[in-house]
Structure 1
Amino acid sequence: MKKIGLIWRIIIAIGLAVGFGLLLPIIHEGFAHGFVRFFATFNMMFGGFLNFIVPLIIIAFIAPGIAKLGKGSGKLLGWATLLAYASTIVAGVMAFFAATTLLPNFIHAVGSGSIANAGKAPGEAFFEIEMTPVMGVMSALLLAFVLGIGMASIGSKSMLSFFEEFNALIEKVITYVIIPLLPIHIFGIFLNMTYSGEVAKVLSVFSVVFIMIIVLHFVILSIQYTLAGAVSKRNPFGLMKTMAPAYMTAIGTQSSAATIPVTLRQAKKAGASNRVADFTIPLFATIHLSGSTITLVSCSIGVLLMNDLPTSFASYLPFILMLGVTMIAAPGVPGGAVMAAVGLLATMLGFDESMVALMIALYMAQDSFGTATNVTGDGALAIILDRFNKKESSNLSE
């Protein structure tokens, strides 16, 4: 029997939560209240564990990711990193202005604090367990930067090997603990929201945010391939058609890393040289996250608007700039980008556990489309960089 994908598990969890939340109070109010409290207890424990693991995720993803950027062919590595980061930031800024312009027209009526309250009431946990993180999120970020830059500067192999194994360990925790339990966590959140009468408003917001994100994904791809077509003197739509197999593969795998072979093959077919494609495509799979950034920024603004909280550009620009760094190496695991961003959501945007849970649900519902946008954009960046590399090589030979 074919395994049910994560997206479908989340959809099923939301559907069951709505059904139970509507039917159980009709059947037996006392049992319904206890049922809601049971899942509130689970959510308390899961949320506590998630808070505990976030600093470890940051260190495991960022430290080896930065260290590996120290390897490569000098200037080509620098330009590739700069191009990928610029593309990611442009996508985030575009998403901010689109979301803050469009979403208030649909989301303003949900009501102040309703989403946060829906995650906590009326069901309260039977007991509380404190799971104190080993360090704060910002401490983890600083430590990851220091370790990553330090390993890259001294060319440490033993430390890098340790952190690569640590990265593999944390990925196992995400893949075999957090991801499988995530639908249950989302079930508990939506059960509470249904029981408190807020779920219809939330689901209506989900659909609006989802449609806007898909449109923005195609907008950023059009921009990337228009630039690639201009520098390579090729039809941008023809280039996008060539990269379509990578897009479809990423939808299925939900992993930029797992899609690398297809992305590499199609980038070469689109005109990128073997040397540039072989170097940049695996690198871009790690550091270029324009689609994921659009999703994270749009979803987070949707959640803030649902709670009548402010969404100023002054607060979002640092968040977007940090996203481009914290998500390094996250594409290796489905949902890794949002897991890496959980700490930033809490510290920079003020998300509580219920808001984080909704954010994860929103993100996971279209994670495969964000990943597909990431890898398809990798082809455009490889073509742009290849053209630049050829010009530079030509100038040096003259």
Structure 2
Amino acid sequence: MGKINLGILPKLLLGILIGILVGSLGNLFNVSDAPAFRLVIEISATFTSLFSTFLQFLIPLLIVSFVAVGLADLGQKANKLFLVTLLLAYCSTVLAGLLAYFFGYAVLPQWISPISSMNTSGTAFSPLFTISVDPVFGVMTALILAFVLGIGLANIKGERLLGCLKDLQQIITLTLKKIIIPLIPVYIATQFAGIAASGELFSTIKMFVMLFVMILAFQWVYLLVQFGIASLLTRENQFRKIKNMIPAYFTALGTQSSAATIPVNLECAYRNKITKDVADFCIPLCATIHLAGDTVCLVLGTMGIMLASGMSPDFGLYLPFILMLGVTMVAAPGVPGGGVMAAIGIIGSMLGFTESMQSLIISLHFSQDSFGTATNIMGDQTIAIVVDAVDQKHSEKQAEA
């Protein structure tokens, strides 16, 4: 018999169910009358504390390694088509965030009410012990350092420091794949155990499901917006090309990785008559710099959680957050959930999310990561279509000259 390997989504759902069961039992019986059960809850709280501490330690290192390497690699490819692609990808990501914000601002307050347990930090139970591990530096320090190193390496074309950063990037990727991602379902289970024990389970699940549906629906809407913009810019109906992209969409649903979907997405681009040279350049590049689907999830998801926590998602707070998201998620790890792992630092520092709030956005992002990835790769096609049109016009002008 072969070993059954569940995907991250089934494991996440199983973790939520186990957490709900454990927390509900704690709410049903008086914990003080059951020492063995109290020990289980305290062990759960201890794991939550240790995992959160390690995650907070890891995030600045992730930002420095991935963003710096991403900027350095991008800077070393400086040419006209690259700059056009980079600008389109960034504008698309920011537009996705802005439209998601205005949609959320208009709709979410009518559906989501404050939940009393949401603004607490961590679980309702004390851990057996805690370990204090300060990050090497703060999140904003990591971002500034990543910008300086990435842009600097792109200009001096340095290889030794870049090689060190790439080694660090590989170490962080391995840590994510072997430690963080496998333990995420356990981490989420401990958080939902605390929510269930606090008596706010129904309200939290209702919010979670509502946000999931809204995010999924808006991702599809934004895909139509992207194809509409591509049609306007190229003066040609691009909606008819959607049917050729279905294989890439479903591949992304299965792999949860834009990078793993590149070969299929390239075939779809060829089928859509995008020039081979443009497709070969644009599709792999956009797989690392264009994360509109993740942005929609992170903006709507954080807004919903803020409203449930009694906080106000003001535009003045979200505009710099959205602008920063477009940069922070550059070259996000090619693993499921890489987008939220790269962004969780600024979610905490810029939006003021507590540990329990961060665990919910991580859970929400993982639950829809397949659809967010599929949105990303479909959007990559629209960018390639526009870049191809720009390249053809440029070639025509050169021929006339």
TM above 0.5, yes or no, is: yes
TM-score range, shorter chain: over 0.9
Aligned equivalent of 2:79: 74
Rate the CA distance shift 1:144–1:79 in 2: closer, same or farther, 3 A. same
Q: String of CA shifts for 1:103-125, please: whole Å, max 9, x gaps.
A: 111112x334x21338421x111
- Structure 1 contact 18–194 (Cα < 8 Å) conserved: yes
Aligned equivalent of 1:180: 182
- Structure 1 contact 43–188 (Cα < 8 Å) conserved: yes
Aligned equivalent of 1:199: 201
Aligned equivalent of 2:120: 117
How many angstroms does 1:237 deviate by? 3.1
Distance, in Å, in 2 between the alignment partners of 1:316 and 1:142 is: 19
1:372-387 paired onto structure 2 within 5 Å: 372-387=374-389
1:16-165 paired onto structure 2 within 5 Å: 16-24=18-26, 26=28, 29=31, 30=34, 31-72=36-77, 74-108=79-113, 110-112=114-116, 114-117=117-120, 119-121=122-124, 123-165=125-167
Distance, in Å, in 2 between the alignment partners of 1:124 and 1:101 is: 38
- Structure 1 contact 225–239 (Cα < 8 Å) conserved: no
Distance, in Å, in 2 between the alignment partners of 1:118 and 1:353 is: 6
Matched, 1:12 2:17: no
How many angstroms does 1:234 deviate by? 4.7
- Structure 1 contact 277–382 (Cα < 8 Å) conserved: yes
Query: What is the aligned residue count?
Result: 395
How many angstroms does 1:126 deviate by? 1.4
Q: String of CA shifts for 1:68-104, please: whole Å, max 9, x gaps.
A: 1123361111110000000000000011111121111
1:2 to 1, 4, 7: 4
Q: 1:268 is aligned with what amino acid?
A: Y
SS of residue paired to 1:116: coil
Q: String of CA shifts for 1:253-280, please: whole Å, max 9, x gaps.
A: 1111111111111112112101111111
Distance, in Å, in 2 between the alignment partners of 1:84 and 1:92 is: 13
SS of residue paired to 1:366: helix
Distance, in Å, in 1 between the alignment partners of 2:248 and 2:142 is: 34
SS of residue paired to 2:306: helix
- Structure 2 contact 89–286 (Cα < 8 Å) conserved: yes
Distance, in Å, in 2 between the alignment partners of 1:127 and 1:159 is: 39
Per the normalisation by structure 2, the TM-score is 0.95
2:264 to 237, 262, 265: 262
Distance, in Å, in 2 between the alignment partners of 1:320 and 1:25 is: 39
Distance, in Å, in 2 between the alignment partners of 1:230 and 1:118 is: 47
Rate the CA distance shift 1:17–1:33 in 2: closer, same or farther, 3 A. same
Q: String of CA shifts for 1:192-226, please: whole Å, max 9, x gaps.
A: 11111111111000111011111111111111112
- Structure 2 contact 26–197 (Cα < 8 Å) conserved: no
Distance, in Å, in 1 between the alignment partners of 2:14 and 2:216 is: 22
Distance, in Å, in 1 between the alignment partners of 2:167 and 2:265 is: 26
Rate the CA distance shift 1:157–1:118 in 2: closer, same or farther, 3 A. closer
Aligned equivalent of 1:249: 251
Distance, in Å, in 1 between the alignment partners of 2:136 and 2:185 is: 26
How many angstroms does 1:227 deviate by? 2.7
How many angstroms does 1:9 deviate by? 0.6
- Structure 2 unpaired stretches of 5+: none
How many angstroms does 1:24 deviate by? 4.6
Q: 1:47 is aligned with what amino acid?
A: S
SS of residue paired to 1:117: coil
Aligned equivalent of 2:224: 222
- Structure 2 contact 120–354 (Cα < 8 Å) conserved: no
- Structure 1 contact 99–301 (Cα < 8 Å) conserved: yes
Q: String of CA shifts for 1:363-385, please: whole Å, max 9, x gaps.
A: 11101110110011101110111
Rate the CA distance shift 1:144–1:312 in 2: closer, same or farther, 3 A. same
Distance, in Å, in 1 between the alignment partners of 2:239 and 2:192 is: 41
CA RMSD of aligned residues (A): 1.5
- Structure 1 contact 91–294 (Cα < 8 Å) conserved: yes
Distance, in Å, in 2 between the alignment partners of 1:263 and 1:158 is: 33
How many angstroms does 1:229 deviate by? 3.4
How many angstroms does 1:236 deviate by? 3.0
Per the normalisation by structure 1, the TM-score is 0.96
How many angstroms does 1:33 deviate by? 2.8
Q: More deviation in 160-169 or 294-303?
A: 160-169
Distance, in Å, in 2 between the alignment partners of 1:146 and 1:58 is: 12
How many angstroms does 1:35 deviate by? 1.8
